[in-house]
Amino acid sequence: MAEQHLLATCWTTAGDVGPHCDDQRSRLPIRARVDAAAAAGFSGMGLLHADLMPALDRYGARGLRTLLDDHGIIDLELELLTDWWTTGPARARSDRVRRDLLTAAESLGAHHIKVAPDVTDLPWDHDHWVTEFAGLAAQAANAGTRIGLEFLPWSNIKTVHDGLKITQDADTAAGGLLIDVWHTERAGTPPADLAAVPLRHIVGVELSDADSEPIATLFEDTVHRRRLCGEGTFDLPGFVRALRSAGWQGPWGVEILSDRHRHTPLREAVADAYRTAHGVLTRAS
């Protein structure tokens, strides 16, 4: 079996903060987060824009890249770009974040940038989204990185099939899907459908687990009650085998979001995330 490369997504090392918070900045020093990820065995890491910019202010691009390199962190994921499809003030704010992420991706050698769909789930124009996605991917290509579109079952892009309609029509090597098992399971997508996704349309993959039925809204369930890999009901072996069948060789993102995880000491929380995800990957071989 090929060596498994695991990436601790931004929330896995962020401590007591999450997407549900008004202020999403981690209270933990970036060095402590990198130390914890490396000590656990991760060779990849994710950073949210809100944490990326202070880290660059403190270390500079060269210093931050050196910090990652010194800890064996090879793969870097940057997130999260929203409102990249819209106009007006929201687009102006989005474009500022876009510039920051693209500039950082180029200087740091990021594996990819994660972008979001429209969580308001309002009516939308497919052709417009394809055009905007293709333009964003072209900018990513110029920066030496790729764009990963994450579909969410409560958004306008609910399933892997919805996402593929955009990435296939955009027809760009620099843009594809971010496939998160939480979202495929909650959308009821069978592993066989994931095995059929062309590899060139896969930019990133994420692992987690959960109970069989969500509690409250899907958003509330995903940010408060995810479980460590193998401790829930998801068909993780089927998911892993399907993505391997599609040709995916990593990095495997590990995205643990839960109240329990946030309140566990950093090193213990990150080590648990690595141990359980690595166990799933090993057993699925």
Closest CA to 114 of 282, 269, 275, 251: 251
Percent of the chain residues past pLDDT 90, beyond the cut: 98
Residue 77 domain flag: yes
* Structural domains of the chain, count: 1
Each residue of 183-200: pLDDT tens digit?
A: 999 999 999 999 999 999
CA-to-CA separations, 279 to 79, 125, 181, in angstroms, rounded: 26, 42, 16
**Cβ–Cβ < 8 Å for 50, 17:** no
pLDDT for residue 4 is more than 90 = no
pLDDT for residue 220 is more than 80 = yes
pLDDT at 203: 98
Each residue of 223-268: pLDDT tens digit?
A: 999 999 999 999 999 999 999 999 999 899 999 999 999 999 999 9
Measure the CA–CA gap between 226 and 220, rounded to whole angstroms.
10
Residue 254 domain flag: yes
Residue 258 domain flag: yes
Residue 24 domain flag: no
CATH number, domain with residue 205: 3.20.20.150
Residue 134 domain flag: yes
pLDDT at 285: 82
Each residue of 31-82: pLDDT tens digit?
A: 999 999 999 999 999 999 999 999 999 999 999 999 999 999 999 999 999 9
Measure the CA–CA gap between 262 and 170, rounded to whole angstroms.
37
pLDDT at 250: 85
The HSE-up count of residue 229 (CA atoms within 13 Å, CB side) is 31
- What token pair was written down for 51? 């944490």
pLDDT at 2: 57
Average pLDDT of span 132-139 = 98
**Cβ–Cβ < 8 Å for 43, 73:** yes
- What b-and-e string marks burial along 46-79, b requiring 16 or more CB atoms within 10 Å of the CB? bbbbbbbbebbeebeeeebbebbeebebbbbbbb
Residue 25 domain flag: no
Each residue of 102-121: pLDDT tens digit?
A: 999 999 999 999 999 999 99
pLDDT at 86: 97
- What token pair was written down for 189? 């997508």
Rg (CA), the chain: 17
Residue 191 domain flag: yes
Expressed as residue numbers, the domain containing 208 is 6-18+30-283
Measure the CA–CA gap between 262 and 14, rounded to whole angstroms.
8
Long-range (24+ apart) CB contacts under 8 A made by 128-131 are 128/85, 129/85, 129/166, 130/166, 130/169, 130/170
Percent of the chain residues past pLDDT 70, beyond the cut: 99
Mean pLDDT (the chain) is 97
Measure the CA–CA gap between 237 and 81, rounded to whole angstroms.
30
